[in-house]
Amino acid sequence: MFPSPVRVVRFVRVARWEAAALAVLGLLGALVAGAPAAAPSPRAAHVRAVTAVPAAPGSATPLSGYAIRSTAEVSDAAEVVSAPGYRTTGWYPAGPRSTVLAALVAEGKHPDPFYSTNQQRIPAADFTVPWWFRAGFTVEDTSSRTYLDFSGVVSAADVFVNGKQVATASAVAGAYTRHEIDVTGLVRAGANAVAFRIEPNNPRKNLTMGWLDWLQPPPDENMGIVRDVLVRRGGPVALRDAHVVTGLALPSLATADLTVKAQVRNDSAEAVTATLSGTIDPAGPTGPTGPGGTGVAFRRDVPLRAHETKTVAFAPADTPELHLDSPRVWWPAGMGAQELYALDLTVTVPRAGAESGAVSDRSRHGFGIRSVQAPLNKDGARQYSVNGRPLLVRGAGWSPDQLLRWDRTYAEDRLAYARDLGLNTLRLEGHLEQDEFFDLADRYGILTLPGWQCCTKWEGEVNGTEAGESWTAADHPVAKASMAAEAARLRDHPSVVSFLIGSDFAPDAEIEKGYLDALKAADWPTPVIPAASAKSAPLSGSSGMRMPGPYDWVPPGYWYDKREGGATGFNSETSAGPDVPTLDTLRRMMSPAELTALWKDPAAPQYHRSPSRTYATLKLYDDALTARYGAPRSLEDYVAKAQLAQYENVRAQFEAYGRNATDASKPSTGVIYWMFNSGWTSLHWQLVDRFLDQGGAYFGAKKANEPLHIQYSYDDRTVAVVNRRRAAVSGLTARVSLFNTDGTQKYDRTVTGLGVGGDGAKATALTLPASVEGLSTTHLARLVLTDAAGREVSRNVYWLSTRRDVLDYDESDWWHTPTTAYADLTGLRSMAQASVSATATTAAGADEQATSTTTVTVRNTGTGNTPALLTDLHLVDGKDVPVLPVQWSDNQISLWPGESATLTATYRTADLHGSAPRIRVSGWNTPTATVPAAARR
């Protein structure tokens, strides 16, 4: 049902309720680097999805794929379908982690749902009945025990092995619950079969995953199996739940105490004395040493009765080697190195006639040593610190692929982009990613804030009077089991710094207690946050977070006020809404007719925005774009203005939160840009688009988050220097110049001897005058910061107006604050064309797997005064197609006549596909030209 009127309050994303109410083997590598769906391939007449499972104790082998088909097309009984040898003629292949729709799209059954309105052509009725997921596996040795171990079933499943039902859909329910089924008695030598009968998904009815107002939800609602199904082998004694509890000495970081825990389970009918032994070693080449100088080793005998389970713990009190001197501490990106350790555990049982025992089971996984704290400050806001150092959370909301297809390269590319942008955090609201994602986040130093999703069944029962989807008695154990499984999976990742047990709302007392009990039992090591909004939970108290929006367009100056979504406290999700991608991307995702409507008709519904009525059009955004920059004259002009608008707005958002982070009163403590990416071909909520192209939003964020940064404040006209480095800096010089749009200088001031502390400190260099004689209504501000040696260390260019944007805060709602008067930036239209030259050379990698670097020198060769505003460089191949992903040292730069800049672009050599690299140069007032990037000699 829809929420009651009580629920429709400002901080609630009502649109998400609207969206919910509207009714891999897959891509064969096509999603690498964000490529479009692969061309259809012929469907095999007989699908063979067979996995060879070794007998080695401790092995965990993922099923390699499935044959899938709708139960509406399969008349055979489950016992027959799940029997070895059953023929799957006419079934579709699916990858080891696949939704139904992902598999069907890969096979060409449906058109690419990421282009135009193709997704509307896919009949949703096909997914209202269960689907079979069937796989085969072979076992040569049946003397080992065999288990099925899995999670990620969306939404529930009956499970069968070799013709026998081993679990019901009432037991295998919820996308995040984890299940281990002992199938030793059913497994035979040779061919075996497992079949899942997957129930349709409804995120309003099931504790699974949904999309709400992020994008147009897929017609199958992601039904399928989206994580690995493992076939585990082992001896009579199983090893489970291995983890490390770390205690780091603060503030010295001089020592760390480790406690290793694991469950040892005797699955046999005989008593046995098992031996549990382990080692801890740094994942890198060097690290802390135990007595032998090569790490830490420990062991213990564990007597077990038949079918008994014991939790075994090794701590410094009984294992002194677990007290580490000079530990290798893990730091977030930009604060230090990402040091990791490896824990190896082995359990052995006595072997007749042998001195050493037989290996029964083993495990290996990584962990990091770090401390996370997040108390409430005096203003009631969460203030995170890592290893005793305060941290301004600069983050964005992460989205997986809309069809939940996993591609490690594509995920790593996006994480590399996050680090390139100077972000330190990604928030995962629901859609808690694969294990590899968190491994990569550990490596890249990107903090993560996972949590449950808003406005679906997860928030059916809340701590308040708001009406949601009521829970049944069966939902509570599913929720607690989900929490237990995710806590066990995520707890040892140093990148995971909290769990948000609520999003828009905090859970009620019963649900919260279930979550907290599960987290405590799992030795959860980091703060538990009751909600992402300004809500409290009965046991956890205040969230210390806030969610006032906005989610749609507001002017850049909005972010500086300490009210609504402005820069104070911890804003868990916010942005100025639309992020129109580059022209290259738009032409890949929309039809010609849709592109015409995009720039000509602000009132046109935009399918690639959102299913929400609130975000159905771009009218609010387009009205502001026209009022501030002038009416668009073509698609190209519309996109160019969008890049200017998105650059200035995203930059202002991050700059405002950075400036206010060290304020004595109501400081900013965190901001999550909504969102980092959309997971679909989208027109809103993204710093980077589906194809990994970079526009104004991307480079505005990159500029704002540079480590040592000079910036302008829209509210009080101050120019400040923000230093995110650890060490203080002195001897800086700031020069600020104001220009008319024809390049005529009207103001110039230099301030020397500036110093600024470290860890996010700021220093004010000067305040621009309220008025400057002769300054045009639209004008430019150039800010340049140089170090004691005269080297330029930060450069920032703004396009400003003597007329300010005026906000009507009294009429604010949960998604934006109205603007009643707009800044006049239309003077940019009269800027003369700038003459820009570019030369480029490339240092190519040695082979197709290597990385190449193209170095570009761009110069404004004009003889007058006109600057080249927001000059954009795109690395393209011989067909003028962008080479993506790419990391630029800087981009979208502004140069005055005689000025030049040398930039670098780093990318995978293979992504050129044999073509020679070229550089496409364009800009606001720069004609588009393409130059070769010859190989460097």
Of 18, 361, 564, 573, which is the active-site residue?
573
Residue 304: per-residue pLDDT: 97
Residue 573: active-site member? yes
14-29 pLDDT, tens digit each: 333 333 333 332 332 3
Residue found under tokens 């503030």:
251
What is the number of residues in the chain? 937
Q: In 411-457, where do the E strands start and end?
A: 425-429, 447-451
3-state SS assignment for residue 634: coil
Q: What is the average pLDDT across 571-583?
A: 97
Confidence band of 469 (pLDDT split at 50, 70, 90)? confident
Greater confidence (36 vs 886) lies with 886
- Provide the token pair at 214: 């992020």
Q: Is 80 exceeded by the pLDDT of residue 31?
A: no
Residue 504: active-site member? yes
Residues 797 and 810: their CA atoms lie apart, in Å, by 32
Which element (helix H / strand E) includes 509?
helix 509-521
Residue 21: per-residue pLDDT: 34
519-542 pLDDT, tens digit each: 999 999 999 999 999 999 999 999
Residue 11: per-residue pLDDT: 31
74-121 pLDDT, tens digit each: 999 999 999 999 999 999 999 999 999 999 999 999 999 999 999 999
Which element (helix H / strand E) includes 842?
strand 836-843
Residue 295: per-residue pLDDT: 81
Residue 505: per-residue pLDDT: 94
Q: What is the average pLDDT across 827-854?
A: 90
Residues 404 and 719: their CA atoms lie apart, in Å, by 44
Phi then psi for residue 555, to 5 deg, are -75, 165
**SS3 sequence, 781-841?**
EEEEEECCCCCEEEEEEEEEECCCCEECHHHCCCCCCCEEECCCCHHHHHCCCCCEEEEEE
Residue 465: per-residue pLDDT: 81
Confidence band of 163 (pLDDT split at 50, 70, 90)? very high
Q: Is 90 exceeded by the pLDDT of residue 784?
A: yes
297-306 pLDDT, tens digit each: 999 999 999 9
Q: Is 70 exceeded by the pLDDT of residue 487?
A: yes
Q: What percent of the chain has pLDDT over 70?
A: 93
Question: Does the pTM of the predicted model rise above 0.85?
Answer: yes
Task: Find the helix packing angle between 435-444 and 408-420, rounded to 10°.
Answer: 30
Q: Is 90 exceeded by the pLDDT of residue 13?
A: no
Of 413, 504, 584, 706, which is the active-site residue?
504
3-state SS assignment for residue 911: helix
Residue 289: per-residue pLDDT: 41
Nearest one of 699, 689, 684 to 588, comparing CA atoms: 689
Nearest one of 894, 876, 881 to 840, comparing CA atoms: 876
Residue 845: per-residue pLDDT: 75
Average pLDDT, the chain: 92
Q: What is the average pLDDT across 414-434?
A: 97
Nearest one of 331, 333, 497 to 420, comparing CA atoms: 333
578-626 pLDDT, tens digit each: 999 999 999 999 999 999 999 999 999 999 999 999 999 999 999 999 9
- Provide the token pair at 399: 């989205």
Residue 849: per-residue pLDDT: 67
Order of strands, edge to edge, in the sheet holding 718-723? 708-712, 718-723, 761-767
Residue 417: per-residue pLDDT: 98
User: Cβ–Cβ contacts within 10 Å for residue 777, how many?
Assistant: 15
Q: What is the average pLDDT across 343-372?
A: 91
